[in-house]
Each structure stands twice: as C-alpha cells, then as structure tokens.
C-alpha cells in the first residue's frame, strides 16, 4: 500500500477509468495543460490528448450543457468545477437537465455524469469562493451526492461515480487535497450510498462529513481523555442519506450530534433531523443537536472566517451538554 495525497488519489482514479473506458473524458477550466486548479488532472492531457482532457472557456452553463449532451449520447464526462461555487452558473443545466432527463425521457436517456471539484471554507478565499453547495443540490431530484474525506475513500468513490449511470455531484474540500493516506495497489470501489463507521462508541452518535471529520477527531482526543466514548459516523453519501447506519448507531447511544460545515438553514443536518424525528423519535433520550456554519457570507478576514465555522471545542462542549 502506497501513501498517497488525496489529489493524487483522485488523479489515479480518473487515469484508471480513462484507460479502461474510452468513453470517459474530462472537461473544465484549466483541466488540460495547466493540470487543474489542484493538480487532479496533471499531465493527463499528455497521455490522452486535448480532446479527452478538454480545456473549456469560462462559460460554466455552456460546458455543463455540452457534458450533459455528451452523456446522453453515450459518453461518460467528468466535469471539474475550478471552484464548486462557480457551478451555480450552471444550476439550470444541473437541475433541469442532468437531474431530470432520465425521467422526462421515459428512461430513454441515462446521464452518466460526474461533477467534481473543490468547495468548502478554505483559508481566506472570500465569500464567493467559500460556498458549500450540498444544501443547494440536495433538493434536486435525480442526483446522487457524495463528499470524500480521505485519500482512500476519494479514489474508491470517484471510480464508483464514474461507472454509475446517474449524475453524481462529487464534493472535495479545498483544505483536504494535501492529506496523505495508504491506499491499496489493487483496484477497489466504495459504494455511493453508504456511510463509514469511523469509530465505535456507546455514549453519543456524532454524524459528520468532509473536513468536519477531522474537527470531530480533534474533539475526540479531548472527549476520550475526559472519559467519554462517542461513536463517529462519516456520512460520505449526502444523497441518498444512509439513514440506516445512523439509526443503527442511535439504537446504541440514543443521542445524536450532527457536525457540518454547511449552513444551518436547510442544510444536511436539517434533513437528518427531519428524518429521525419523523420515523425514529422514540430512540431519542435527548433532543438532537446540530453544529453548523453561521448563515452569513463567509468573511475574508481570517479571524472572522474561523468564527463562522464549527471548531473542535464547540464539539466537546456540545457532547458534554448533550450527555448531562
């Protein structure tokens, strides 16, 4: 097993799938000769040429429409959003075309499309580059949504997403690209609809995803030292939610804390709370607690930016309050 950066794990997955299947191609801004904003497509244009690693103009609505049309005709496009915030400019294509065409065509068209790229709150990237679009896309029928969090799951999830017959929104966090981990040399896949049990425990279920996984793990060190035994779940799949894994844990702990970088209003945590309250309320020994980003545009100022996002100490305090 080699130790690999997360961005290289994504590159390996893309390379392997392009080599296996000539219908797979990449398009987006600066994905070719520049190698992508975070080098996920570095040097792939040398191996596969400028048509299969296609540099596009700065016209998100246009190249998203082209990707969807190519998927309808049998290709398997991977669209890289230089920053996922920019894909709001292609929201119409993603919602009214990518998500719906399989249904509105009576099943005559599949849309095997992957839309991937960096998002989340970085380090002073400003409001327009710090969007968390999972809440925006969650309500769109016909999409699958995943958020990778380790080099291992990044590679396995991307390979699964490329082979899937449905449009997949694939979220990567801008601050996780330089994470390193051992990944297998043999080919492997990770399902797009399953959460990961990061740690078994009995006191409280902590559900999280993406970069917040690491804030939870920092909080864990303090909690364990103080005698607490939390169970930690990385959602990975944001749509559909793996509610079964959450409920299986909740049957042991009877307490639920959700930690997300998404905004509080209408976020992923809000949907989890609704589903648990609707169908599994009797499992709860205490009200569900959610820790989310503040509902404001992310400030450029570093200290103000940090104040808008959940920090490990907030998680420690929430667990202690939830248990006592």
Sorted by sequence, the CB contacts under 8 Å of residue 17 that are 6+ apart come out as: 24, 76, 158, 159, 162, 163
Active site residue 60: yes
Cα separation of 42 and 11, whole Å?
8
Helix (H) or strand (E) holding 2: strand 2-5
Q: What is the DSSP letter of 241?
A: B
Nearest to 191 by CA among 134, 133, 251, 235: 235
The burial of 187, by beta-carbon neighbours within 10 Å (0-12 exposed, 13-18 middle, 19 or more buried), is given as exposed
Catalytic residue of the set 129, 196, 261, 271: 129
Residue 222: both structure tokens together: 């303090």
Catalytic annotation, pick one of 17, 29, 60, 260: 60
Q: Cβ contacts of residue 195 below 8 Å, gap of 6+?
A: 207, 233, 234, 235, 236, 237, 242, 245, 246
What is the Cα–Cα distance from 220 to 233, expressed in whole angstroms? 13
State how far the Cα of 20 lies from the Cα of 10, in Å rounded to an integer: 16
Catalytic residue list contains 173: no
Q: Give the residue numbers annotated as catalytic, written as ranges.
A: 60, 129
């Amino acid at each position: 097993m080699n130790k690999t950066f997360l961005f290289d794990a994504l590159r390996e997955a893309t390379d392997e799938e392009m080599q296996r299947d000539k219908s797979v191609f990449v398009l987006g801004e600066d994905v070719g000769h520049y190698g992508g904003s975070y080098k996920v497509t570095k040097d792939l244009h040398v191996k596969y040429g400028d048509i299969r690693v296609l540099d596009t103009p700065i016209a998100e609505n246009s190249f998203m429409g082209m990707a969807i049309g190519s998927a309808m005709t049998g290709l398997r496009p991977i669209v890289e959003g230089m920053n996922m915030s920019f894909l709001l400019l292609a929201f119409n294509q993603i919602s009214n075309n990518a998500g719906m065409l399989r249904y509105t065509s009576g099943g005559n068209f599949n849309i095997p499309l992957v839309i991937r790229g960096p998002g989340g709150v970085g380090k002073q990237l400003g409001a327009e580059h710090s969007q968390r679009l999972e809440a925006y896309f969650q309500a769109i029928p016909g999409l699958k949504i995943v958020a990778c969090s380790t080099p291992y799951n990044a590679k396995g999830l991307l390979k699964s997403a490329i082979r899937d017959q449905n449009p997949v929104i694939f979220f990567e966090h801008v601050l996780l690209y330089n994470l390193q981990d051992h990944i297998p040399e043999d080919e492997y896949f990770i399902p797009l609809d399953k959460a990961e049990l990061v740690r078994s425990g009995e006191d409280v279920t902590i559900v999280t995803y993406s970069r917040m996984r690491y804030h939870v793990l920092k909080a864990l060190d303090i909690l364990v030292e103080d005698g607490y035994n939390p169970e930690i779940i990385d959602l990975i799949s944001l749509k559909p939610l793996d509610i079964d894994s959450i409920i299986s844990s909740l049957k042991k702990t009877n307490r639920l804390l959700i930690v997300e970088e998404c905004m509080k209003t209408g976020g992923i945590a809000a949907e989890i709370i609704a589903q648990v309250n609707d169908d599994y309320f009797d499992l709860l020994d205490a009200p569900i607690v959610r820790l989310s980003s503040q509902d404001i545009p992310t400030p450029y100022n570093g200290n103000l930016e940090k104040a808008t996002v959940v920090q490990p100490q907030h998680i420690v305090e929430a667990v202690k309050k939830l248990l006592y």
